[in-house]
């Protein structure tokens, strides 16, 4: 099973470039645009091996709170 990387990045171009590069390297990538998306992803019982967080991402929580959880 491929390593799963969750990317939280509000900037669509930056997120897409990073996600495509990681996919080309063989990783499974989940793209999210807000802290709410990341929270919902994990609340649904899904898991990730690596999470890349945009520190100033929009949403109810900031990236530091997400990382703490």
- The H or E element containing residue 50 is strand 50-53
Report residue 9: phi and psi, to 5°: -150, 120
| Nearest CA-CA partner of 36 in 14, 8, 67, 64 | 8
Q: According to the model, what pLDDT value does residue 58 have?
A: 67
22 burial level (CB within 10 Å; 0-12, 13-18, 19+)? middle
What is the pTM for the complete model shown?
0.85
* Overall average pLDDT of the 3-27 stretch: 96
Encoded tokens for 22: 């990681």
pLDDT over 90, % of the chain = 64
Q: According to the model, what pLDDT value does residue 60 have?
A: 63
Whether the predicted pLDDT of 1 surpasses 90: no
């Amino acid at each position: 099973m491929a390593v799963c990387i969750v990317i939280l990045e509000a900037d669509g171009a930056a997120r897409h470039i990073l996600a495509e590069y990681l996919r080309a390297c063989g990783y499974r990538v989940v793209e999210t645009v807000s802290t709410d998306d990341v929270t919902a992803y994990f609340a649904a019982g899904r898991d990730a091996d690596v999470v890349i967080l945009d520190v100033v991402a929009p949403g109810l929580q900031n990236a530091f709170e997400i990382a703490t959880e």
